[in-house]
Structure 1
Amino acid sequence: MLRFAPSPTGDMHIGNLRVAIFNYIVSKQLNEDLIIRIEDTDLERNIEGKDKEILEILGLFSIEYKSLFYQSANLKYHQKMALQLMTQKKAFACFCSDDKLDELREEAKKEGKPFRYDGFCENLSDETVLNTNAPFTVRIKKPEHNIKFTDLLKGDFDYAPFDIDSFIILRQDKTPTYNYACAVDDMLMDISVVIRGEDHVSNTPKQIHVRNSLGYEKEIKYVHLPIILNAQTGKKMSKRDDASSVKWLIEQGFLPSAIANYLVLMGNKTPTEIFTLEEAIEWFKIENVSKSSAKFDIDKLRFINRKHIELLDEMRLSKILGFADADIGKLGKIFLEEASTIKEIKEKIEPIFTPKNSCEGFEEEFSKLKECLQKAPFFEDYEELKKYVMEQTGLKGKNLFKPLRYILTGVDNGPNISDIYPLVKNYLGEIIK
């Protein structure tokens, strides 16, 4: 069993999506189920509706999953297992106030040391705990031995008890902290492989320690993917980078198939540059992903997006553009010389159907041409239309072609009218009204 476990605390970013895609591919390769677990226990940071947005994005990318879980639904198990750990003296009640902990952090900072809990409440007697009315958190005792694990991509890791510390597993309101809830849920859901970002590497020994303390012996395999960098700045992609948001990329007209293609291609060895997720399942190897940070280049994504638009069926492209006519799909592909996203293609097509009242510098010719076209019979061929208009108006040269192009396309330059006309001839009544 594999899992993709996003938090509903903001837009899904490309790093999250890459993790979801890799989990999906590997689950198919291993013939194991993929589940989605919405990690919603941090109530203060949750944003209403973000869970549904995440699921909609997964649907857009055709990422299939077996089941959907909300982490908050497991609260009774989180609390029950915390009580078990306390009963076994593997966890303890901590009455230290936030002010006290802040004081300890400040002292550690002044001494240039990492902050670690000082163990003040670890050995309180049961009687003292029972007679103390102050609010408390629950901390798991730090391990007695080093925690070791092997990352399938990054190799061996070895963490000392000091690195792991006696960390909080239940907050004062008795909701679980991230590492504790994650560890318990991975155990309950029988997860076999965890694929996630490398910013979680330091969380892994804590989660292993929780499961060890609960007596869970199954080994979970880990893959921690390198972070994604902005190719222009060389820095980690952040929320300030528009392109980091999957929602923004979709709104800009990048196809899900192209985005998925690029996220698999980034920092990876692939047999071909342009492919679908279904094709990637056949040859993808998680161990071939680069151990170094991948660079997100929006221009490279534009190139890949253009290729995926070229591969679209014309009727399918037409529907994406808001029509139901294969000719409009063909028209969209003509504009790929100048455009690379669906949004940009729409911006090229829109002026064709926008009412035109005049053409600067050719006002008289525009008026004469428009009147002629409104009375003209239907012509299958552009050359026949051009011949008819020339005969009826006496216009030629730029006095003909400048205003004629503007009437038919709404712009002064672009692809040849002879290429555009066959694809819009059935809409002339709407174009020249």
Structure 2
Amino acid sequence: MKIKTRFAPSPTGDLHVGGARTALYSWLFSRHFGGEFVLRIEDTDLERSTQQAIDAIMDGMNWLGLDWDEGPYFQTKRFDRYNGVIDEMLAAGTAYKCYCSKERLEKLREEQMARGDKARYDGHCRDAKCAHGDNEPHVVRFRNPQEGSVIFDDKIRGPIEFSNQELDDLIIRRTDGAPTYNFCVVIDDWDMEITHVIRGEDHINNTPRQINILKALNAPVPEYAHVSMILGDDGQKLSKRNGAASVMQYRDAGYLPEALLNYLVRLGWSHGDQEIFTVDDMKQFFTLDAVSKSASAFNTEKLQWLNHHYINHLPPEYVAVHLSWHIHEQGFNTQNGPQLVEIVKLLGERCKTLKEMATACRYFYEEFDEFDADAAKKHLRPVAKEPLEAVRAKLSAISSWTTENVHQAIEGAAAELGLGMGKVGMPLRVAVTGSGQSPSMDVTVHAIGQSRSLARIDRALAFIAEREAQQQ
């Protein structure tokens, strides 16, 4: 049997981490078995579905690298197919027209609630022989079995059973002629030959209804696997307040797709004690029987740890491509300065996100407006004038601008003055970067370049002279 899975989001908002994890699990399951993966947009909610949300879903899937073999399919383009099947069911007696008014249904609901019963349709029109004209307002209901149970072996949670007496005759076509979500899903899974439905646990109650419709159509029933919810950093259900950012917001915040994928796959799945998984590892090892039934807790610190790992372990040429996007977003030009590959190597250990790295590398390419106040107060004092002048002289004398020669110049200035490296290095750091933090001074000064480093030292010396004059 060829494995075929699907990811079927509703385009009513962005692709968030819960949906992305479901997509990842479905994608990995099909890839593990050499099967196919379908993208289906379930846009039957015409009022809430938007093109913006469709674009956001596609952008998120593409950024994560979750490619699809078929689709994207859109349910709104398949209404003729759904309605054709409903008409066949009406003729076969597996569905019927219901003419109950909203008032009758509301009164029924109130009476059931008052008795403490579960609110459900009472089958009033199920076998009624009422004389109604074809043009009278009506819905179409599925004739659900009234005896027995629906039992399915959930591939994550084990056997699950629902009594058919608990399931009422659900509406499969509304008064306006539009087919309903639960029915469209069934026909799609049938037509698209889906073998495994992997989705969130909030769909468990839909499953017995969908199975009964499939059986009424003599259609094959797929395997089902329902993934548990994700909790936020605070232990509450994941929301925008506690971590449920959209996938593209994680990109915007400076995360690599590999880090987010690695993090999401571990939110409910494990393979021994392994923490770091390449995409090839995931494809090789992922199985549904290793997915936990328990809810998973989102941990932003763990995601940052993974991102830091990938920044430093993926090829710097690849990381630099993602870094360039953030630099463009921050609006500065990198033509005059070191290659971005060098920035990744220089700042990788210091930065947990690419956004942080883009901010931190700006002084390699652009002049800064002013020195960091605290750093300047501490290190650009009159006592720093002599070390800065000494190191400037040695840097200006370099004919071959290499990291080694820059290192020797800084060391030589310190030795000449009988000072520790900190007495020379820290004023130099503030002078050329504007702040008190940077990689080692030899690689930093080398990357900034000779002429710009000298010009910045001159600016620092002028700052010290002005400060000295103010103190007199």
Q: CA deviation at 1:297?
A: 0.8
Q: CA deviation at 1:397?
A: 8.0
Specify the alignment match of 2:466 in structure 1: none
The residue identity in structure 1 corresponding to 2:186 is A
Specify the alignment match of 1:89 in structure 2: 93
Specify the alignment match of 1:275 in structure 2: 277
Matched, 1:263 2:277: no
Specify the alignment match of 1:318 in structure 2: 320
Matched, 1:344 2:392: no
Matched, 1:173 2:167: no
1:149 pairs with 148, 152, 174, which one?
A: 152
Specify the alignment match of 1:302 in structure 2: 304
Matched, 1:78 2:82: yes
Cα separation, 2, equivalents of 1:228 and 1:199: 12
TM-score of the two chains, using structure 1 as the length reference: 0.88
1:335 pairs with 327, 339, 347, which one?
A: 347
Q: CA deviation at 1:162?
A: 2.6
Residue-by-residue CA offset, 1:58-101 (whole Å, 9 max, x unaligned): 11222221111111111111111111111122212222333443
Q: Is there any run of 5+ residues in structure 2 with no aligned partner, and where?
A: 325-333, 460-472
Counterparts in 2 of 1:100 and 1:328: CA distance versus 1, 3 Å: same
Cα separation, 2, equivalents of 1:253 and 1:2: 31
Cα separation, 2, equivalents of 1:332 and 1:418: 16
Aligned length, in residue pairs:
429
Q: Which stretch has the larger CA shift, 417-426 or 108-117?
A: 417-426
Q: CA deviation at 1:163?
A: 2.3
Cα separation, 2, equivalents of 1:430 and 1:104: 85
Counterparts in 2 of 1:63 and 1:357: CA distance versus 1, 3 Å: closer
Q: Is there any run of 5+ residues in structure 1 with no aligned partner, and where?
A: none
Q: CA deviation at 1:164?
A: 1.9
Q: CA deviation at 1:289?
A: 1.1
The residue identity in structure 2 corresponding to 1:308 is Y
Specify the alignment match of 1:229 in structure 2: 231
Cα separation, 2, equivalents of 1:157 and 1:37: 26
Kept in 1: contact 2:234–2:242 (CA 8 A): no
TM-score of the two chains, using structure 2 as the length reference: 0.81
Kept in 2: contact 1:331–1:420 (CA 8 A): no
Counterparts in 2 of 1:344 and 1:427: CA distance versus 1, 3 Å: farther
Q: CA deviation at 1:328?
A: 3.6
Cα separation, 1, equivalents of 2:99 and 2:122: 13
Q: CA deviation at 1:316?
A: 2.2
1:58 pairs with 55, 61, 67, which one?
A: 61
Q: Report percent identity of matched pairs.
A: 29
Counterparts in 2 of 1:357 and 1:5: CA distance versus 1, 3 Å: closer
Specify the alignment match of 2:246 in structure 1: 245
Kept in 2: contact 1:147–1:158 (CA 8 A): yes
Specify the alignment match of 1:98 in structure 2: 102
Cα separation, 2, equivalents of 1:39 and 1:158: 27
Counterparts in 2 of 1:400 and 1:209: CA distance versus 1, 3 Å: same
The residue identity in structure 2 corresponding to 1:112 is G
Residue-by-residue CA offset, 1:15-38 (whole Å, 9 max, x unaligned): 111111111111122222111111
The residue identity in structure 2 corresponding to 1:93 is K
Cα separation, 2, equivalents of 1:354 and 1:245: 32
The residue identity in structure 2 corresponding to 1:348 is A
Residue-by-residue CA offset, 1:330-364 (whole Å, 9 max, x unaligned): 43344344421111111221244342355444388
Q: CA deviation at 1:302?
A: 0.8
Matched, 1:41 2:65: no
Kept in 2: contact 1:4–1:20 (CA 8 A): yes
Q: Which stretch has the larger CA shift, 373-382 or 341-350?
A: 373-382
1:10 pairs with 10, 13, 28, which one?
A: 13
Kept in 2: contact 1:18–1:263 (CA 8 A): yes
